Every structure is written in C-alpha cells, then in structure tokens.
Amino acid sequence: MLPSRHFQPPGGPPIELRRPPLAIVLVAVLVIALGETGGAAMSQLAPAVERYATARVDANAEAHGLLGSPEYDDEVRSRAVYSAEAGLSFFHTHAEGLGLILFFTSTLVASVVAGRRVRAALYALLTAGSLFPLGYLAYSVAVLELGRDSGIEAAERWVLIPLGSAAIVGLAGLAVCLTARVRAAARPSLP
Amino acid sequence: MTEAPAWRLPPVWVLLVAVLLIVCAEVGGASMVRFKIELTRWARGVMLAHPEIHGLVGVRDVDERILDEALVKFDAGLRLFHIHAEGMGLVIIATTTVAATLVRTPPARPVMITLLTVGGAGYPLGYLLWAALIPYFGMERGKAIAEWLFWIPFGGATIVALWWLAAVVTLRLVRR
C-alpha cells in the first residue's frame, strides 16, 4: 500500500528497489552457488582433501622445509594441511556472505545512485570485492605449493588484499552516495 | 537517472519462511548462551545414561575426555545451526527475489522458488537434529542420520536450484 500524500517518511520519498545489471546478478548467484557447493564438497570429500593435501606437502618437501625427521615433518605437514583446510572453510563462509553483500549493495546502487559513471564504478568495485572468497581458494593451493608462510603471504598480497580493498572502497563509496542523498533530502525544497 | 528494471517480490509465504528461519537462528543463538549450563548438563546426563554408545568404560580419566569431545561437538552443532539459519534466511530472500524476477516460464519459477525455500530452510535444521542426536546416538551415528534426513536432501535441493538459477541468468545474459 502506498503512503498517503500527507505522510512523508524521513529521508525522502519511497523508492522502488531496482535490479542491477544481469552480469552482476549472475556473479552474486554464482558466488553463493560456489559457496554452497564448496561447503558440501568439504563435508563429503574431507578424507580425500586431506589425502591430497598431505601428498602435495610431500611433493613440495623443500618449500615446506621437511627434513626427513618423522616427528618434525609430521608437525609441519599437519600445520600445512590444517591451513589448507582452513582456507577451504573460509572460502565457504565468505562466499555465502559476499554473494549476499553483492546482491544487496548492488540493488542499493541501482536504486539510489543517480550518476551513470559513479554507478558503473561502484558496480565494478563491489563485483571485484565479491570475488574476495576466491582468494581463500588461492590461499589453500598456495599453502600446499609454496609452503605455509610463503603461500599465505602470496595469497594475501596478490589476491586477498586487492579484492578485499575493492570491496571496502566500493562499500565506502556507496556510503558516501547514501550520505549525499540523505543530505539532499534533508535540504528544504524551494516553494 | 536511467530507469533500471525493478525487482519483483517473491511470494509472501517464502518471505515468511525466511523471516521465521532468521528468528529461529536468533532465538537459538540467544538460548545457547542463556541456557548453556542447562544444555550441557542435559547432554552430559543423557550420555552417562548411554555409556555403551559413547564407549564409556567407567574410568574417570578416560570417560571425561570422551564426554568433553562429545560436548564440544554438541555445542558445535548448536552453533552451526545458529550461523547457517541466519545465513540461509538471507540466501532465501536474495535468491527467490532473483528467481521471481528473472525466471519467466511459469512451471519453472514456482518449482525453483520452492526448492530454494524448502532446501534453504530445511538444511540448517540438520545441525539442530545432529546436536540433539549426539547424546543418544554418538557423534558419527548422529551425523549420519542428520546427513541422510536433512543435509543431503535439503542441501542438495538448494545446490541444484542455485546452479539452475545461475544457468537461467546466464542464458538471459547471452540471449540479450
């Protein structure tokens, strides 16, 4: 039901929630689908994942600093496998969250941001940011291939920080646009 | 501003299910904190009443370690219900909105919306069931029951519907 003519809600007139471009909707749905599927795969394939991770650590013995001493090597191996599994778990949880964040924030951009170029820039930043969870897949692979510390550093530097920064800048940009809209709505209109 | 097309609202029963799921998640999280001692005491009591299921041998040092491990999993089941129910409530709202707006063929739309809603709402309940079953059936048996009754059918429904939805959106993007 529409509000009566005399009722003006705070912050401006009511708006319709608009749909962002199809490509962005597709990315949001894909990220959520990947998150769900990743969670199910992690649960069903846990022993296979652990076997694969252990084999990759052994295949990259030099990168992991394995010395041939069973006690020490077991400790190094289990830490690396734990980190790789943690990366998969973070992928699952972050993909679910960031897919939703892209869906809701891009809907806000489509609905309240007036400038075409600003809208395009925010879409690009938010979409790049929604790919942040893929950084955790890279994290898992890098831990196994490059060694635990070097792998984590590489994934953070080349994937997680750039994509995470894109998400933060996009969200901050959207906050600025919303602030500008609230201020514009609060300004007294000319008779 | 160029007028972008508007989102369409999914059926109200879908929104009701999503909101109720989020409410259950919040109540579950609050109850976990408020009744932590009572819940732990109950689970421990049931486990002590079924010593053969948990492999309790009557030696305090051994039994306490087994009970602690089972109680950690019991707590994990409740926590996982809390976070999955919160997340899936939002996933239901987002994905059924996309389906209501972009899936045009009448038989496909209600089927997809039903799969997303029923799958999304049922899946987290598996964690609640798992937590409740641990004291009676042990961790592994409880997990197997929850898996076959909830996680595989409901989680499977959600995954199938999500990839179906992704395929529909891709087709619309390609055909434009």
Separation between Cα atoms, residue B132 and residue B157, nearest integer Å:
23
pLDDT digits (tens, 9 = 90+) for B14-47: 999 999 999 999 999 999 999 999 999 999 999 9
Angle between helices B12-34 and B60-102 (to 10 degrees): 160
Please choose, from the candidates A48, A58, A47, A68, the residue with its C-alpha nearest in 3D space to the C-alpha of residue A147.
A58
Contacts of A150-155 spanning 24+ positions with Cβ under 8 A:
A150/A63, A151/A83, A152/A83, A155/A87
Give B162's contacts in chain A (Cβ within 8 Å). 29, 32-33, 36-37
Confidence (pLDDT) at B134? 97
Interface residue A97 vs chain B (CB under 8 A): yes
Split at pLDDT 50, 70, 90, the class of A13 is: low
pLDDT higher than threshold 90 for residue A43: no
How many A×B Cβ pairs under 8 Å?
76
Confidence (pLDDT) at A4? 46
Mean pLDDT of B62-85: 95
Percent with pLDDT over 90 in chain A:
81
pLDDT higher than threshold 70 for residue B77: yes
pLDDT higher than threshold 60 for residue A5: no
* Cα of B71 vs its chain's centroid, Å: 20
Q: How much is the mean pLDDT over chain A?
A: 91
Is A32–B87 a contact, with Cβ atoms under 8 angstroms apart?
A: no
pLDDT higher than threshold 80 for residue B4: no
pLDDT higher than threshold 60 for residue A125: yes
pLDDT higher than threshold 80 for residue B63: yes
Please choose, from the candidates B148, B114, B116, the residue with its C-alpha nearest in 3D space to the C-alpha of residue B129.
B148
Interface residue A36 vs chain B (CB under 8 A): yes
pLDDT higher than threshold 50 for residue A1: no
- Examine the predicted complex and report whether its ipTM is higher than 0.85: yes
Is A36–B158 a contact, with Cβ atoms under 8 angstroms apart?
A: yes
Confidence (pLDDT) at A190? 60
Confidence (pLDDT) at A185? 80
